[in-house]
Structure 1
Amino acid sequence: MVSPAIALAFIPLLLTVLIKYRYFFVLFYRAILVRIWKDCTTGLSREERAYQYVLTHCTLGDPDSILDAFDIWCSNVEFISNIGPKKGKILDRLLMEQSPLTVLELGAHCGYSTVRIARSLPLGARLYSVEMDQRNAAITEKIIRMAGFDDSTVELIVNPSDEVIPRLRSDYSLEKLDLVFMDHWKKCYLPDLQLLEDSGLLGKGSMVLADNVLFPGAPKFLRYLRKCGLYEWKIHRATLEYSRGIRDGMAELIYQGIK
């Protein structure tokens, strides 16, 4: 049995750990514990709960209203890992600067970033959004249409990214991607980037944006960027979406081609 004196000696250490990692404890509570509780008590997935909130708090046909409703829900109710408003502004700026005509999104989740990208595209541009989870894809489809975008602007593809990328030329007649946004499983960032390289869909000047490269992190992806010499790249540092005190960043890559 631990003596009271030894137990008291550990209190300063415990307090130090709690203070130092308090933001991670808050994230664990909001992202894991609340989700488990709500899943059990509502019978709905977290994404379905978010959709219900957005549906009842947004103005149909208004992308900004839909994004605002998502941001309020994710900030105050439950945590969802989408790009969020702070890093979203970086994405908005890059989209305005690049004016891409052909965009590929890997990881639609429940449609937040899909709407964010689609609303910034120039006239005649098209977004191909890939989501492997069928339940999430069904929500994304509703969110896209609620925002007022039809199939001529946004096409949702429900399949794993490693199956979709090799077929983009043959099935969707794509010759070059102007911009790729990655926000799916972080372990897929590197193999999917290499698939894009092998497919020939990245031309000189093509931009690739990859979210959450610092937290939860994509270390193999970053190591590859440092060594391959195919990209000019940098990291836009920020904090994790809908969180404070957790450092994160979005990688911006400009493809230079084989040297």
Structure 2
Amino acid sequence: MWLTLLYSCTGGAALLYALYRWVIPAVVQYHAGLVLIWHDRIVEGLLNTLTQTTRPQRMLAAVQKNATRGDPRSVVKAIDQFCRQKEWAMNVGDEKGCILDSVVTEVNPATVLELGTYCGYSTVRIASLLPSNAKLITLEFNPDYAAIARQVIAWAGLEDKVQLVEGASGDWIPKMKEKFGIETFDLVFLDHWKDRYLPDTKLMEECGLLRKGSILLADNVICPGTPDYLEYIRNSPRYKSQYFKSHLEYTKVEDGLEKSVFLG
């Protein structure tokens, strides 16, 4: 009897683990709504409770364990491995990250603004490609995310290239010229709250932070989606836009990046 009960419990536990680890992730990765509910609500909440840590803290631990200090690419690789093999997270990801890399290399910007730091993944990708005299300002609203991002950026050896600012983008964008001596940005990477893409773009226009030739690169324009931003940026005579089709980070859900050149 006890042996039968033990076999039943073991089999049930194995089945639950298989569902959690492989079956459900394989099913939801093709559906935008399900993938976000599963990874961002169910799995994250469960692991937070079981480990008494947060996802950003677990990601930082993976970097400190698997990445080489002072090597930005090893930091990126450690986070990608964590997100593909352990736990999904809302970085730009490896697939779209390659598009981001190509745009940064093409533009070769001296001044960069990143809206939405999260844990510093895209910050590391961008900063690692910048010349030594370039300035990257990254804004993060959540102080807990900012604390982790600072450590990730430092582990990559890029703290001298990056200025991380905590607070709301709507508050900081009008202060850029006064606080940081920025005249205009060569490149702006939008990856924060999706409902802020459009108002912050208009705010940057009003504040004169965009020059002719400035590039806006916006992530997640399909999933979760930024329809008002896309309608504006694609129909405004002030921009010339190009869509780069890809997938939501670490899934098979369609997503992409919108690259827009400010025409003045």
Please give the TM-score of this superposition, normalised by the length of structure 2: 0.86
**Pair 1:232–1:53, CA change in 2 (3 A):** same
Match of 1:81 in 2: 90
Return the alpha-carbon distance in structure 2 between the equivalents of residues 22 and 230 of structure 1: 36
Q: Is the 8 A contact 1:130 1:160 kept in 2?
A: yes
Match of 1:210 in 2: 218
Structure 1 gaps of 5+ residues are 1-18
Decide which of 91, 97, 113 is 2:122's aligned counterpart.
Answer: 113
**Pair 1:61–1:198, CA change in 2 (3 A):** same
Return the alpha-carbon distance in structure 2 between the equivalents of residues 136 and 22 of structure 1: 25
**Aligned runs of 1:1-259 on 2, under 5 Å?**
23-24=30-31, 25-151=34-160, 153-244=161-252, 246-257=253-264
Return the alpha-carbon distance in structure 1 between the equivalents of residues 255 and 158 of structure 2: 30
Partner amino acid, structure 2, of 1:28: I
Q: Is the 8 A contact 2:216 2:261 kept in 1?
A: yes
Pairwise CA distance, 1:30: 2.6
Name the count of aligned residue pairs.
237
What are the Cα deviations for residues 125-184 of structure 1, in whole angstroms up to 9, with x where unaligned?
110010010010000011111111133x11010111111100001111110100000100
Return the alpha-carbon distance in structure 2 between the equivalents of residues 26 and 232 of structure 1: 32
Please give the TM-score of this superposition, normalised by the length of structure 1: 0.88
Return the alpha-carbon distance in structure 2 between the equivalents of residues 135 and 235 of structure 1: 32
Supply the RMSD in Å over aligned alpha carbons: 1.5
Pairwise CA distance, 1:226: 2.9
Return the alpha-carbon distance in structure 2 between the equivalents of residues 77 and 42 of structure 1: 14
Return the alpha-carbon distance in structure 2 between the equivalents of residues 86 and 73 of structure 1: 15
- Aligned residue for 1:81, secondary structure, equals coil
Pairwise CA distance, 1:243: 0.4
What are the Cα deviations for residues 68-97 of structure 1, in whole angstroms up to 9, with x where unaligned?
000011111111111111111111111111
Pairwise CA distance, 1:27: 4.8
- Aligned residue for 2:30, secondary structure, equals helix
Partner amino acid, structure 2, of 1:40: T
Percent identity between the two aligned chains: 41
- Aligned residue for 2:117, secondary structure, equals coil
Partner amino acid, structure 2, of 1:250: L
- Aligned residue for 1:156, secondary structure, equals strand
Partner amino acid, structure 1, of 2:263: Q
Pairwise CA distance, 1:21: 6.6
